[in-house]
Amino acid sequence: MNIWEQIEKKIRDFPDFPKKGIMFKDVLPIFLDPNSHELLITGLVNYVQNEMKLANLDNVVICGIESRGFLFGPAVAAKLKVPFVPIRKAGKLPGECVTKSYNLEYGQDSLQVQLSSLKSGDRVIIMDDLLATGGTMSASCDLVKLTGADVLACLVIVELSFLEGQRSEE
């Protein structure tokens, strides 16, 4: 069994949460088991180094999307010895921020990043727990680009492929 199959076994399904018709994918059990947590971090680090073929990590930055991207993004960044930058909901970061608003099924939301955190020439890997419709990830990519940085990749633990969230990134 490979790393990703072991990780997948830890993910729990909660039908009709947070509302009827939604199948919630709970990744938190990964973090209850230190071995699974370590496997996740190792798997993501190996993916960046080997699959993405990033021998040169100069100017690479890991961005984690609030809030579950904060659970593993900093650990991956630390292992790679690159900076971690949080992407947060509007109004949660001090200082000058760049903001990107985006539409949700049920309204609108906004994400922010501190302007001083990213710069032109930075090569950003965005991390989150789940890719569904792609709205939050797409907004995060746009946000990173607004700072002048480039998006190298978007990495998630779970993808709900039937919702075609990757299409919003194309």
Catalytic site residue 164?
no
Residue 84 main-chain phi, psi, to 5 deg? -115, 135
Kindly name the residue from 38, 68, 123, 164 that is annotated as catalytic: 68
**Is the separation of the CB atoms in 78 and 84 below 8 Å?**
yes
CA distance linking residue 59 with residue 81, whole number of Å: 11
Query: Residue 168: what residue type?
Result: S
Q: Provide the strand spans (E) within the chain.
A: 12-15, 23-26, 60-65, 84-89, 97-104, 107-114, 123-131, 150-159
Q: Which residue carries 């000058």 as its tokens?
A: 96
Kindly name the residue from 105, 123, 164, 167 that is annotated as catalytic: 105
Catalytic site residue 105?
yes
Active-site positions read: 68, 105
